[in-house]
Amino acid sequence: MVSYFINSKTVLENFNSTDYQKKLSICLETNGFSFAVENEKNKLLAFADVACNYPETLSQVIEMIKKVFSDLGIEYMLMDEIELIVPANKHTWIPEHLFDQARLREYFSLTIPLDVKETVFYSFSEKLQAYSLFAYSDTIISAFKVAIPRIKVKSQHAKMLETPLLEKSRMKTNVEIYLRKDYFDVAVFDSKNFLISNTYRYSTADDVAYYALLLLKQFRLNQDAIEIYLSGKADRNIYACLERFFRKVTLYTGKKLEFATNDMYHLHLYQYSMLFR
């Protein structure tokens, strides 16, 4: 028996009767997942933040996801686009002209040692004309692809680049920080160029500020001209800490959305911004 509880949910009434093209995004979280359904006009039709009552096996997680969709009346098989976003800690970017599918593991050999059980996956970024490579458990990815055919898999780093922040960096430097449990992902954009993305482990708010400052020093960027966009599982302590070092810190919610119901206006979208890109 699959056991779960929903921390937050909102679903459009008569959801199955809508005739718009629909996109389903699923983001894996610690002990659970969140998901959103939106149409081609960027209207949010459904959202839920789901957690497990106890540590689940992989098969139970897949079963739980199917049960949640069934309970909410969401027919995921009818979606026009389905994507799975995974929190990969090992990743890199390879320019399109240098990419060779036969060398996937080799790209990691000099920088990030891979475990035997890890498989390298990749997705292409039209905006960067480069491939996002990330290491993850093949068992998990394969299980999702069997359970939900047509699902596209991306790492959180690839999703961070699907953002208007790159366009906004024409005359300044933007730093995007996405927080999750024990780790945070960061991407730096300067003068409309993507400079770097990385993952760091943290335990305190000072750790987050330290690594952000370290990246700026590495690229010799002007700290006073930096704008920090913070999203994910951010709390007041981390927000306040970053404000001590940077002039402008903004909670980032992703692209502009319309809402199908009034309940959706109460969602803390910055906590789930990975879904809305």
Segment 40-66, tens digit of pLDDT = 888 998 899 988 765 556 677 778 888
**How far apart are the C-alpha atoms of 259 and 264, rounded to whole Å?**
6
> Taking the CA of residue 169 as centre, how many other CA atoms within 13 Å lie in the half-sphere pointing to its CB?
23
**Whether 135 and 224 share a structural domain:** no
**How far apart are the C-alpha atoms of 17 and 115, rounded to whole Å?**
46
**Whether 9 and 94 share a structural domain:** yes
Segment 76-127, tens digit of pLDDT = 888 999 999 999 889 999 999 999 999 999 998 877 888 888 899 999 988 8
Q: In the predicted model, what is the mean pLDDT of residues 166-189?
A: 88
pTM above 0.85, yes or no: yes
Q: Which residue has the higher pLDDT, 41 or 36?
A: 36
Q: What is the CATH number of the domain that holds 170?
A: 3.30.420.260
**Whether 124 and 196 share a structural domain:** no
> If DSSP states are collapsed to H, E and C, what string results for 171-226?
CCEEEEEEECCCEEEEEEEECCEEEEEEEEECCCHHHHHHHHHHHHHHCCCCHHHE
Query: 85: closest CA among 256, 215, 242, 254?
Result: 254
Number of domains in the chain: 2
pLDDT at position 1, please?
47
pLDDT at 2 over 60: no
**Whether 175 and 83 share a structural domain:** no
The parent domain of residue 176 ranges over: 165-251
**Whether 185 and 102 share a structural domain:** no
**Whether 47 and 151 share a structural domain:** yes
**Whether 152 and 55 share a structural domain:** yes
**How far apart are the C-alpha atoms of 201 and 192, rounded to whole Å?**
27
**Whether 67 and 195 share a structural domain:** no
**Whether 7 and 110 share a structural domain:** yes
**Whether 139 and 271 share a structural domain:** yes
**Whether 46 and 141 share a structural domain:** yes
Q: What is the CATH number of the domain that holds 119?
A: 3.30.420.250
**Whether 154 and 169 share a structural domain:** no
